[in-house]
A = this chain, B = another copy of it.
Amino acid sequence: MNQLTERQKLLLTLIVHGHTRTALPVGSKSMVENFNLPFSSATIRNELAAMTALGYLRQPHTSAGRVPTEEGYRFFVGNLVQQTNLPATTRNTISHQFYQSPLGLDNWLKLAASVLAQQSQAASIVTAPHSNKISFKHLELLSTHAAQVLMVLVLMGGEVRQRIFALEEVLGQEALSRIAQRFNASFQDCDLEQVSSGAKDLSPSEMEIYAHLLDEMQLAANLVTGDVYLDGLNNVLAEPEFSQSEQALSPMRLLEERTLLNDVIQRTVMNEELGGVQVLIGGEGTWEELRDCSVILTQYGIPDQITGTIGVLGPMRIPYGHTISTVRYLGDLLSDLVSETMIE
User: Hey, which chain B residues are within 8 Å of A242, CB to CB?
Assistant: 245
Question: Is the CB–CB distance between B152 and A140 below 8 Å?
Answer: yes
Contact with B along A43-54 (1 / 0, CB 8 A): 000000000000
| Residue from the list B164, B225, B249, B343 in contact with A144, Cβ < 8 A | B343
* Total identical chains: 2
- Contacts A154-B152, A341-B164: A245 and B237 contacting too (C-beta < 8 A)? yes
Residues 239 to 255 of chain A near chain B (Cβ within 8 Å): 242-245, 248-249, 252-253
| Residue from the list B105, B148, B152, B343 in contact with A341, Cβ < 8 A | B148
User: Hey, which chain B residues are within 8 Å of A138, CB to CB?
Assistant: 140, 142
- Contacts A144-B344, A245-B243: A164 and B103 contacting too (C-beta < 8 A)? yes
- Contacts A158-B150, A233-B233: A104 and B163 contacting too (C-beta < 8 A)? yes
Q: How far is the CB of A211 from the nearest CB of chain B, in Å?
A: 12
| Residue from the list B103, B105, B145, B152 in contact with A152, Cβ < 8 A | B152
User: Hey, which chain B residues are within 8 Å of A343, CB to CB?
Assistant: 142, 144-145, 148, 150
Q: How far is the CB of A107 from the nearest CB of chain B, in Å?
A: 7
| Residue from the list B145, B245, B253 in contact with A344, Cβ < 8 A | B145
Contact with B along A14-39 (1 / 0, CB 8 A): 00000000000000000000000000
User: Hey, which chain B residues are within 8 Å of A104, CB to CB?
Assistant: 162-164
Residue on B nearest A343 in the bound complex, by CB: B144
Question: Is the CB–CB distance between A238 and B233 below 8 Å?
Answer: no
Residues 142 to 190 of chain A near chain B (Cβ within 8 Å): 142, 144-145, 148, 150, 152, 154, 158, 160, 162-165
Residues 84 to 142 of chain A near chain B (Cβ within 8 Å): 102-107, 137-138, 140, 142
- Contacts A248-B245, A249-B234, A343-B144: A164 and B160 contacting too (C-beta < 8 A)? no
Question: Is the CB–CB distance between A150 and B154 below 8 Å?
Answer: yes
Question: Is the CB–CB distance between B219 and A234 below 8 Å?
Answer: no
User: Hey, which chain B residues are within 8 Å of A253, CB to CB?
Assistant: 234
Interface presence of A342 (CB below 8 A): yes
Interface presence of A70 (CB below 8 A): no
Interface presence of A288 (CB below 8 A): no
Question: Is the CB–CB distance between A245 and B238 below 8 Å?
Answer: yes
Interface presence of A256 (CB below 8 A): yes
**CA A194 – CA B29 in complex, angstroms?**
76
User: Hey, which chain B residues are within 8 Å of A145, CB to CB?
Assistant: 342-344
Residue on B nearest A146 in the bound complex, by CB: B344
**CA A267 – CA B343 in complex, angstroms?**
43
Q: How far is the CB of A149 from the nearest CB of chain B, in Å?
A: 10
Question: Is the CB–CB distance between A142 and B164 below 8 Å?
Answer: no
Residue among A137, A144, A249 with most chain B CB within 10 A: A144
Other than the known A152-B160, A243-B245, what 10 A-B pairs have Cβ atoms closer than 8 Å?
Answer: A102-B219, A103-B163, A103-B165, A105-B164, A152-B152, A160-B160, A231-B256, A234-B256, A237-B252, A242-B245
